[in-house]
Amino acid sequence: MTLTSGSLDNSQSGRIAGNGVVLNTGAFDNHQDGRLTSTG
């Protein structure tokens, strides 16, 4: 996973798994259900 900007928040037991995922901007919050969603 390549993080060029923004912030990450790994909440509770959720896991952020990077598999060639590029995040260019915004804030991301990985909720309890393990889903990576953009908050920005």
Parent domain of 30: 2-38
Token duo for residue 26: 């915004």
* 39 Rama sector, left if φ>0, alpha if ψ -120 to 50, beta otherwise: alpha
pLDDT computed for residue 13 by the predictor: 45
Q: Per-residue pLDDT tens for 1-40?
A: 555 555 555 554 445 555 555 555 555 555 555 555 555 5
The domain total for the chain is: 1
DSSP letter for 5, please: S
